[in-house]
């Protein structure tokens, strides 16, 4: 395995320096574990989500899309088991006033200096472990009264189960078929941290695939393979990705089998996505609590059954973090250190930078004209400020795969140079052929140059 030396601090620093991700509410001192995505972060995350939608909707015919409400009827969470079971055991320290997850106490840091593990010194005064529900509560309506309590969804999945009947009636799909959704979820994590890896507000990309019960195992295998391939096809190095089946005692209350796709983050192997066989737990639970029949009836044969569900559940923020870490690289050009994000071109926030070599002789005008023509089909950026080397470095650091440079020859023969971020090759190409060439390169299969190291 190629050694990876990037630390989480280096990623955090690059993200802030280049405007990918900022700590939230920074002018007020920040709000722990909340982050705001800046311009390049928005573009990158949008690309991650678009690639997911493509894999779910465009490349198949058996999945449909949903965008459900964040605040659902509160009985949703009774039926799903979240009200009673979505808890972590926590302990408080009466001395340093911090709160720790009882099952992660070994990784905790006491609030006093020098920092120790909670409970390590005689001054620590820990409470007994208590269950702490991770759902955020709020109220609907102008007055706080009985029955007005609602919850911010802790997963997008339940919105899909609530709509199962609507989709049977309107989507002209029958099992096996899936409903996919991307959206924000909220968890009052006791110990959030590690940048966007664990936040209290994050985005999930979840798909519930409804199948005849006898086919559940086969579809579980299918989705596990599909999801592993999605990450590697988008450039994650296969030796930094692994599948970890859950032990029986780790399984969630709804699951009969779960495998985590884990990525080798700088904090060690950690969950990127979970693929679960949820059986018929959710549809049966919602049928019982709502009094509605949630089953599939085959009109031809009269056969009826409650479908089983296979769920690939990914985090958009965690996927973005893994793509950033996997892409991070450093090399040297002419004796000068370069930081470069070797992102898959289809994930890169900006696909092409258009740069006049100098700010005179008609070069800026021609470069701006090329930029305007390209931006109709790809995310293009025009930059005329500073030495050309510095402009290339800046684009390398945000992962722009190609740079178009306009020079004095461009004014004579309408050709430009097309520079490749990874190979540094510079090709002379006619301005008229640029759009097609960039489109061709974007569609071509891609392999991380870090795999050749």
Q: Is 282 in the site for ligand GAP (CB under 6 A)?
A: no
Whole-angstrom distance, CA of residue 208 vs CA of residue 223: 11
Residues 429-448 that bind ligand GAP (CB under 6 A): none
Q: Which is nearer to ligand GAP, 204 or 410 (CB)?
A: 204
Q: Is 51 in the site for ligand GAP (CB under 6 A)?
A: no
Q: Which is nearer to ligand GAP, 200 or 222 (CB)?
A: 200
Q: Which is nearer to ligand GAP, 199 or 306 (CB)?
A: 199
Q: Is 329 in the site for ligand GAP (CB under 6 A)?
A: no
Q: Is 92 in the site for ligand GAP (CB under 6 A)?
A: no
Q: Is 312 in the site for ligand GAP (CB under 6 A)?
A: no
Q: Is 199 in the site for ligand GAP (CB under 6 A)?
A: yes
Q: Which is nearer to ligand GAP, 187 or 286 (CB)?
A: 187
Choose which of 20, 40, 164, 202 interacts with ligand GAP (CB under 6 A).
Answer: 202
Q: Is 48 in the site for ligand GAP (CB under 6 A)?
A: no
Choose which of 96, 309, 313, 355 interacts with ligand GAP (CB under 6 A).
Answer: 313
Residues 143-172 that bind ligand GAP (CB under 6 A): 155, 157
Residues 254-273 that bind ligand GAP (CB under 6 A): 271-273
Q: Which is nearer to ligand GAP, 202 or 402 (CB)?
A: 202
Q: Is 204 in the site for ligand GAP (CB under 6 A)?
A: yes
Residues interacting with ligand GAP, by CB under 6 A?
Answer: 155, 157, 187, 189, 198-199, 202, 204, 206, 271-274, 313-315, 317-318
């Amino acid at each position: 395995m190629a050694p990876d030396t990037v630390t989480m601090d280096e990623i955090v620093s690059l993200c802030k320096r280049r405007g990918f991700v900022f700590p939230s509410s920074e002018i007020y001192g920040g709000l722990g574990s909340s982050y705001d995505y800046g311009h390049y972060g928005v573009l990158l995350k949008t690309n991650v989500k678009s690639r997911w939608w493509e894999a779910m909707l465009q490349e198949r015919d058996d999945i449909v899309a949903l965008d459900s409400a964040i605040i659902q009827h509160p009985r949703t969470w009774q039926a799903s088991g979240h009200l009673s079971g979505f808890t972590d055991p926590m302990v408080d320290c009466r001395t340093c006033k911090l709160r720790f997850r009882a099952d992660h106490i070994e990784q905790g840091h006491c609030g006093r200096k020098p920092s120790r593990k909670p409970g390590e010194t005689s001054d620590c005064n820990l409470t007994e472990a208590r269950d702490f529900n991770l759902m955020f509560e709020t109220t609907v309506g102008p007055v706080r009264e009985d029955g007005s309590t609602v919850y911010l969804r802790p997963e997008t999945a339940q919105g899909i189960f609530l709509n199962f009947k609507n989709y049977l009636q309107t989507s002209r799909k029958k099992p096996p078929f899936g409903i996919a959704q991307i959206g924000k979820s909220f968890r009052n994590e006791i110990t959030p941290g590690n940048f966007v890896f664990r936040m209290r507000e994050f985005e999930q990309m979840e798909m519930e695939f409804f199948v005849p019960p006898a086919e559940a195992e086969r579809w579980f295998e299918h989705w596990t393979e599909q999801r592993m391939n999605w990450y590697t096809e988008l450039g994650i190095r296969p030796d930094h990705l692994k599948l970890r089946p859950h032990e029986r005692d780790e399984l969630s209350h709804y699951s009969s089998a779960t495998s985590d796709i884990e990525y080798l983050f700088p904090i060690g192997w950690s969950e990127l996505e979970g693929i679960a066989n949820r059986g018929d737990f959710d549809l049966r639970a919602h049928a019982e609590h709502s009094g509605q029949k949630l089953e599939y009836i085959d009109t031809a044969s009269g056969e009826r059954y409650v479908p089983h569900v296979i769920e690939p559940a990914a985090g958009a923020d965690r996927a973005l973090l893994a793509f950033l870490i996997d892409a991070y690289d450093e090399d040297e050009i002419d004796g000068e250190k370069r930081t470069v994000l070797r992102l898959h071109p289809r994930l890169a926030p900006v696909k092409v930078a258009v740069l006049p070599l100098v700010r005179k002789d008609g070069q800026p005008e021609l470069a701006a004209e090329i930029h305007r023509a390209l931006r109709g089909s790809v995310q293009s950026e025009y930059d005329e400020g500073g030495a050309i080397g510095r402009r290339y470095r800046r684009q390398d650091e945000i992962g722009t795969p190609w740079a178009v440079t306009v020079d004095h020859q461009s004014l004579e023969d309408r050709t430009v140079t097309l520079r490749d971020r990874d190979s540094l090759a510079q090709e002379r190409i006619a301005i008229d052929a640029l759009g097609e060439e960039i489109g061709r390169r974007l569609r071509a299969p891609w392999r991380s140059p870090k795999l050749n190291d």
